[in-house]
Amino acid sequence: MEELSTRERILQEAEKQFIERGIQNTQMKEIAEVVNINRRTLYRYFPTKEELAFEVELIVMDKLQFEPDTDESLIKELSGYEKVKLYFDEVKLDGIRDLLKFTAEFDRYFQKEYPSAELEKLFISRLDPGNDKLYEYIKEGCEDGSLRKDLTAHEIFTFISQNFLGFFQRLIIREKHLVHEHCDNVDFQKLFRKIVLSGIKEKRKDIHFYG
């Protein structure tokens, strides 16, 4: 196994500490200690904690890019709606729980200015729907008629992606409390999937898409 570079080890430890403690409560000196470097070396790679947190967010965004495990030759035969359904069938919330927790912390921490124009530009480029497999499936569904025609692919994707992040970020943050707040018997992931799929599916009576 190839040894990680110093920069990679810093990012790995920063991601871990930011998730466990939050960006605000994590100190650069603590990251440096675990990585076994001095703070001067750490600041040479990342001049501020804000820049380090931004770099971690870019890594997390890449990790949140999801592609179904189903054989590509089989996926090609599906309608756009069926591909979106498959996408939601295979997304497992438990596997991305920590990543969503960090994105929630990131959103709170950077409510105002970003560390630099360069990082802001890079961040926005990562949000391009064209890079997301879900957007690709939604676009196909709008083109083949399996998804409703009164909304554009961009509108459907933006609504789903923003609501998914906001909704599940809150559930993860409050999961210890929700069980005592009349939510203990609700499967939120299953319910979210059911409502979204029902809401975006074309309801014409002369075509049938199963699932």
What's the rounded Cα separation, in Å, for the pair 146 and 201? 6
Q: 3-state DSSP call for residue 53?
A: helix
Q: Which of 143, 114, 138, 134 is nearest to 55 (CA)?
A: 114
Mean pLDDT over 79-98 rounds to 90
Using the CB atoms, write b or e for 66-102: b if 16+ within 10 Å: bebeeeeeeeeebbbbbbbbbbbeebeeeebebbbbb
Greatest Cα-to-Cα distance within the chain, rounded to the nearest angstrom: 68
**pLDDT (tens digit per residue) in 58-68:** 999 988 888 78
% of the chain exceeding 90 in pLDDT? 63
**Closest by Cα among 78, 211, 107 to 169:** 107
Instruction: Please provide residue 151's backbone torsions phi and psi, each rounded to the nearest 5 degrees.
Output: -125, 145
Above pLDDT 70, what percent of the chain? 95
Domains observed in the chain? 1-47 (1.10.10.60), 57-200 (1.10.357)
Tell me the mean pLDDT in the region 200-209.
Answer: 69
Mean pLDDT value of segment 28-43: 96
Is the pLDDT confidence value at 208 over 60? no
Task: Pick 94 or 123 by higher pLDDT.
Answer: 123
Task: Confirm if 83 and 140 have CB atoms less than 8 A apart.
Answer: yes
86's CB contacts (< 8 A; 6+ apart) are 68, 70, 75, 78
Report the distance separating Cα 125 and Cα 146, nearest Å: 29
Alpha-carbon torsion 167, 100, 110, 24, what sign? Answer: positive
Confidence at residue 211, expressed as pLDDT on a 0 to 100 scale: 52
Classify residue 69 by its DSSP letter: -
pTM for the complete prediction?
0.84
- Least confident range from 41-50, 74-83, 133-142, 175-184: namely 175-184
Helices (H), the chain: 6-21, 28-35, 39-45, 49-63, 72-75, 80-90, 93-109, 117-126, 133-144, 153-173, 175-178, 188-200
Mean pLDDT over all residues of the chain?
90
More confident residue, 93 or 161: 161
Band of pLDDT at residue 72, cut at 50, 70 and 90? confident
